[in-house]
Structure 1
C-alpha cells in the first residue's frame, strides 16, 4: 500500500508555470508574441539554424542559402523574431549577427512542460 497521497497538491503535481497558477497578463502577451513568431515555418527554421550554428550566432550571410527567399525577406523574418524577444543582434561592420536570447528557449519549454503533471496523474490513477 502506498503512503503517498492520491491527490497531490498543485505544487507537487507540476512545475510548469502554465498550470501552477494563471499567467499574468504581461507574461501572457509576451508568450503569445513569441509563440506567434514561431508559428511561421520560416521563422522556426531560422531560430533553429541560429541556435544550432557554431558559436550560437549567425549572420544573414550564413543562413540565407538555406532558404529559397530573398535576403530582405529573411531580414524581415529575423526582425519579427527580434521583436518577439527571441533573438538579439549585433552589427559588426556591414554584417548583422543574430543569436538566441539566453534562457528564452528554456522559458518556452518550461511553460509547456507538462511531463511532471502527466506522470503524477498516471501515479494517482494507479494508486486509486
Structure 2
C-alpha cells in the first residue's frame, strides 16, 4: 500500500495581492443604487421614455396614465421615485404636476457605469 505524500502549506507567499480601494465609497454606492433601483421597473422606464420623447420637454401627469394603462395614484408613485432618484423634475401648476428630465441625468447614469 502506497502512502500519500504529506503536503505542507507554503507560508511565505500571499495567495493574492491586497484588494485596491473601491472606486465608490459605501454612501456613494448607496446613492447610485437608488438610481438603478428606480430604473429597474419597466413602467418607470416607459415614463422616462415618454417624457424624453415629448417635443415640449415636459409632460403633465394627466397625460401619463393612459399610455401605461395605470391609475393616476400608481403613475404618481412611479414619478415620485424617478424624482427622488434625480431623474425627473416636478413642477406644480395649479392642480396638475408637470414632469421633465433633469438636464444631464441620463448622461450621469451612463457615466456611473463607465467609471466602474
How would you bin the TM-score normalised by the shorter chain?
0.7 to 0.9
Counting matched residue pairs gives: 94
The DSSP-based 3-state class of the residue aligned with 1:99 is strand
Which structure has the bigger radius of gyration? Answer: 2
TM-score (structure 1 length as normaliser):
0.67
1:43-88 deviation per Cα after TM superposition (whole angstroms, max 9, x unaligned): 1110111112122111111221101111111011111111111111
In 1: Cα distance, 2:40 partner to 2:108 partner: 17
User: CA-atom RMSD, angstroms?
Assistant: 1.6
Aligned pairs for 1:1-128 (under 5 A) are 22-113=23-114
Structure with greater proportional helix content: 1
Which blocks of at least 5 consecutive residues in structure 2 are unaligned?
Answer: 1-21
Structure 1 consecutive aligned stretches of length 4 or more whose deviation exceeds 4 Å: none
Q: For CA contacts below 8 A with separation 6 or more, give which structure has more relative contact order.
A: 1
TM-score (structure 2 length as normaliser):
0.74
Which blocks of at least 5 consecutive residues in structure 1 are unaligned?
Answer: 1-20, 115-128
